[in-house]
Amino acid sequence: MPARLHRRSLWITALLVGGMLSSMLAVGWLTWQHALRSESTLFQRQLAARAQALVQRVDRYRTLPEVLALDMELRQALQRPLGPQEVQALNRKLERVNGASQSSTLTLIDRRGMAIAASNWQQPRSNVGQDYGYRPYVQQALAAGSGRFYGIGTTTGQPGYFLSQAIDDDAGAVIGLIAIKIELHALEHEWPDASASDVMAVSDGLGIIFLSSHAAWRYRLLRPLTPQAQAELAATRQYQGQTLAPLVWRERQRLADGGRLVTVEDAQLPRQMLLHSMAVPGTGWQMHLLHDTRASAATSRWAAAATAGLWLAGILLVLFARQRQRTSRVLEAARQQAERANRYKTRFVNAAVHDLLQPLNAARMFTSLLPNHVQDEAGRRVAESIESALASQDAILASLLDIARMESGQLEVHVRDFALDALLQVVHNNFCLLADSEGLQLRTHACALVVRSDEALLRRIVQNFVSNAIRYTRTGRIVVGCRRVGRQVRIEVHDQGPGIPASLQREIFEEFRRLDEGHADDRGTGLGLAIVERLGKLLGHPIGLRSTPGRGSVFWVQVPLGDARALPPAAPSGVPTGQEDAPLQGRVVWYIDDDPQTCAATRALLERWGCTVPCAAGPQEALALALAHPQAVPHLVLLDVHLGGGLYGPDFYAQLAAQWGQAPSVILVTAEPDAALRRQAAERGWGFLAKPVRPPALRALMSQTLLRLGEGDGR
């Protein structure tokens, strides 16, 4: 099996490599051909434009010899011998005409081929007195009336294009000619410069390049010269003084538009070029444009390389996709396992908290009754110690529950705009008595700013700061205030405690980290600041600390400013009535819970507050009582959520309401402070209390609920 898999892998690898190489060759060839066709079309148009420019340049001077041939002064000069003054006058005339036409040279030649006057008469190498009878343009004009010829001047040594026109006497006999020389080398400067890779060239009828944008191409032979052509060149001295070197090239491919891909066999010239040729009308010349194809070849190589890159990318993408699938399956399995573990953890925490808080709730209920049954001072101190121990246990469980809820993502955030001063006053009222009992001064500065945050969670942060300050400050004062920092508000808690060394300032925000300088009887669990930091991250509020050992500490949280216009109008404060002073007196209250001890403790507490409690028992006893006395509807039902045996408190309440025919007010009392459950209670208009229940909180909520009930129906 391993050998078979190995052979299969080799075959797949070979197929992939073969496919990649085939694709590279195909794409490279297609790109090369496309580039050649595109460039061929482009340079064919460019060549036509250059040829047209050359024709226009020649045509500018073509009529000048014809006009001068009609000049009477020139005709008369050819019909008789001239004196020196007459020759001088002719020279000056030709010089003026030449200056106006901007040609190179004008020469008056008699029928023997002798130049009798010229525009360059003042130059050391003047045409005057020279014999040009061997030149084709002279012979053509004398024989046919006009002539043209390109060559190197035998007198000046400068190349040019010669146009000639015969001059006739009155009888029509040819008596001489006028010749104009046009220098075309200026065109070479208008073509691609010598540094460019493209070559523009013009060749004559013999295939000799006489104009070129590159000097290395000038006076090169496109084809071998015949003996007759060689004799003609020698007789006319057309390119005298120049070595006509052959240009060896080989055609490799002919394109549909006439372009040819050629290879030049010359070390000084580009090897592979795209050649376009076009006849120049009226001259017998050919204009050539040669383009270096190295850029096209590079493009094809890049295309082939890109194809290889795409193949490699595709192969890598497939490998990545397969690896991603495998990784995704592993991650999905891990995620599902983590979710199951998180669900199990949440269920475990909820169950553990419920089981722990049930007896703790009953103990706090019983403890709240002890002061009425203990008469001596020692007994009251014992009761206070029990209450303090239960409160500490309550704080520890609440902290652990908060940590568990944040880790499991069950803690919901409700951000809104609210006045900061009300929050600070609530914190002050909650801690002022505790601070006073520790011999500390708690001062809270008023703040008129509006902030945007979750009010309950922000209050928890500030409360933890203040609680921490009270715990670790032995003497002095604690100051709570705020200051504006740009578009933020920084809430600060200053204390005069022992301070925190810099080495410990990061450590104290970790779970179960605490200092040793606190009060011996209340040094905390080491979770308060850890909860603060997690709440800060949850809300997006920076948490900070400034501290100097021996001088105290400043804990702060920074909150964004809110919009004061978003605040609801303040409700008018009502005046309490006599009925509101004792709202629980005579009220009928049912307490339904599956824990007998909690039922007994709550019954005793409610009866002490003046309530009538017909039922403080589990769901079976409550349902039996409702069936027996359906008309005995209570004012208020205190209802646990989980009643044992899978029975859900709100569902059980629906059965009771069906028996009563009414739906009395409800306060849910549960050990699971779940946000969804709290929302459900709010939607139904029910109260909500988390276990362990503090008797003052229970009494306040019951009073508030019953007061609303009284306002609504007068009961």
Domain ranges of the chain: 69-183, 412-566, 578-713
What does the pLDDT read at residue 399? 58
More confident residue, 374 or 688: 688
Helix (H) or strand (E) holding 451: strand 450-453
Helix (H) or strand (E) holding 28: helix 2-68
- Please identify which residue in the block is written with the tokens 């050919």: 286
Characterize 378-414 residue by residue with b for buried, 16 or more Cβ atoms within 10 angstroms of its Cβ, and e for exposed.
eeeeebeeebeebeebbbebbbbbbbbbbeeebbeee
More confident residue, 93 or 271: 93
Q: For residues 368 and 386, what is the distance between their CA atoms, to the nearest angstrom?
A: 10
CATH superfamily of 412-566: Histidine kinase-like ATPase, C-terminal domain (3.30.565.10)
pLDDT digits (tens, 9 = 90+) for 451-510: 999 988 899 899 888 988 888 888 889 999 999 998 999 999 999 888 888 777 677 777
CATH superfamily of 578-713: Response regulator (3.40.50.2300)
What does the pLDDT read at residue 275? 82
Residue type, 32: W
pLDDT digits (tens, 9 = 90+) for 87-136: 999 999 998 988 876 677 899 999 999 999 999 988 888 988 899 999 99
Q: For residues 218 and 644, what is the distance between their CA atoms, to the nearest angstrom?
A: 109
What does the pLDDT read at residue 452? 94
Region 210-233: mean pLDDT is 87
> Is the domain 69-183 a CATH 3.30.450.20 member?
yes
Q: For residues 50 and 582, what is the distance between their CA atoms, to the nearest angstrom?
A: 112
Residues in contact with 240: Cβ distance below 8 Å, sequence separation at least 6, in sequence order = 152, 154
- Please identify which residue in the block is written with the tokens 């409360």: 463
Using a pLDDT cut of 70, give the percent of the chain over it.
80
What does the pLDDT read at residue 6? 67
Euclidean distance between the first and the last CA atom of the chain, given in angstroms as a whole number: 87
Q: For residues 628 and 49, what is the distance between their CA atoms, to the nearest angstrom?
A: 114
Q: For residues 238 and 66, what is the distance between their CA atoms, to the nearest angstrom?
A: 24
- Please identify which residue in the block is written with the tokens 């250059």: 50
**Residue 371 has which token pair?**
């002061």
pLDDT band at 689; cut points 50, 70, 90:
confident
More confident residue, 7 or 330: 330
More confident residue, 433 or 28: 433
Helices (H), 157-283: 185-190, 227-236
